[in-house]
Amino acid sequence: MIDGSQILVTAGIVLAFALNGAVIFTILDVKGASWMQRRPGPLHVGLRGFIFPLAEIIKFFQKEDITPTNVDAPVFKWAPAYVLASVFGLFVVVPISPTLVGSDLELGVFYLLAISSLSTLGVLTAGWSSANKYSLMGGIRAAGQLIAYELPLILSVVGVVIQAETMSLVGIVEKQIEFGLPFALSGQGLAFLIFMIAATAEMMRVPFDMPIGESELVSGFLTEYSGVRFLIFYIAEYMNMFVLCAVASTLFLGGYHVPLLPPEWVNFYGPVVLITKTVLLGFILVLVRWSFPRFREDQLQNLAWKVLIPLSLLNILITSIMKVVF
């Protein structure tokens, strides 16, 4: 039986996990940047740069929360909360051990993919309500990008679902344990690659950060935001990055499982294993972010429709044939 207090406790734990994820990835991103760019600040200042996220948060709280005159005020004010809530919704189904999971839904993957595209709506409304041409273009770019990356994202996961014969995330991990190899190494390597590329586009990170594009659109849909509302977008961005990496490690890299450790202790080492895998994936994203320029919007569309979607369809075909043959 689920009562109200249990839901509250679960939500609290998931929220703590989500915020910690955001903090971990902020540190990772900033430290990666300063390591690659020889910036002394975040590497040496303040406990070797580890209190940097705290300083960042305090900085945003000090700033004035400006609502410009001509904006559509209710939409403008609620858009960040909407984005944060939709990203938070993703955390609910990610299992950090077989039992430590917000809710092990039967249709976990389906839920995940449905929720993950919701945040774009928040970005679009933020761009639209800002009463700024640059913001509007940023919002519309985000919407256009959604159509481009959402299909390869979904299609790449279909291969995993076929191989695992379940849509529950815990079930997918258990299947990988049963099989002995993570899906990334046993048939879904291509899908893993496509998923990561599409997920980068979903996170709006370099090289797919066209909706933000500070050198073109002056930060796009974020232009008019300041103070706490900007901070919420910022946290949502890193939470999104964390959760998508966690989902990728669950679907393709065996999630909380690691060989040779006793399975009965999984509730203790599970979270550590999952976060380690997530951080490793995040580190790749950091390397990509700080070494690549930005694509053009039409180049992303070309990449998605002419390369990623055919490849993921091919992946589904091959997976299905293998499933029938073996």
Partner 1 sequence: MDDILNTGNVPYISEASVSVEIETEDMTLNIGPQHPSTHGVLRLVAKVDGEKISSVEPVLGYMHRGYEKLAEVRTYPQITTLVNRIDWVSGFANEIPFIAATEKLMEIEAPERAKHIRLILTEMARIASHFVFNGAYALEIGALTPIFLAMEDRERILDLIESVTGGRFHPNFNRIGGVKPAAGSGPTTKKNVQDLPAGFYQETRDAMEKVLEAVERMEDLVGGNEVFKARTKGVGIISKELAEEYGVSGPILRASGVKFDLRTQTDFLPYDKFEYEIPVGENGDCYDRWYVRLLEMRESAKIILQAIDSMPSGPLQTKVPKVIKVPKGRSYVRTENPKGEMGYYVISEGGLGPYRLKIRTPSFSNISILPVLLEGQLLPDLIAIMGSLDFVLGDVDR
- Residue ranges binding partner 1 (CB under 8 A): 33, 36-39, 133, 137, 206-207, 209-210, 213-216, 218, 289-299
The minimum distance between CB 198 and partner 1, in angstroms, equals 17
For partner 1, the closer CB: 139 or 171? 139
**Cα–Cα distance between 298 and 32 in angstroms, integer?**
29
For partner 1, the closer CB: 36 or 58? 36
- Reduced 3-state DSSP string for 152-197: HHHHHHHHHHHHHCCCCHHHHHHHHHHHCCCCCCCCCHHHHHHHHH
For partner 1, the closer CB: 31 or 289? 289
The minimum distance between CB 213 and partner 1, in angstroms, equals 7
The minimum distance between CB 272 and partner 1, in angstroms, equals 31
| Kind plus residue range of the DSSP H or E element containing 232 | helix 227-252
**Cα–Cα distance between 171 and 255 in angstroms, integer?**
11
Q: Per-residue DSSP letters for 125-139?
A: HHHHHTT-HHHHHHH
For partner 1, the closer CB: 3 or 38? 38
For partner 1, the closer CB: 132 or 249? 132
**Cα–Cα distance between 104 and 98 in angstroms, integer?**
9
Tokens, residue 188: 């879904």
Cα distances (angstroms) measured from residue 162 to each of 42, 172, 185 = 44, 10, 16
The minimum distance between CB 274 and partner 1, in angstroms, equals 29
Side-chain-side CA neighbours of 206 within 13 Å: the count stands at 17
For partner 1, the closer CB: 4 or 293? 293
Vertex 212 angle, CA 210 and 215, to 5°: 85
The minimum distance between CB 144 and partner 1, in angstroms, equals 10
The minimum distance between CB 281 and partner 1, in angstroms, equals 20
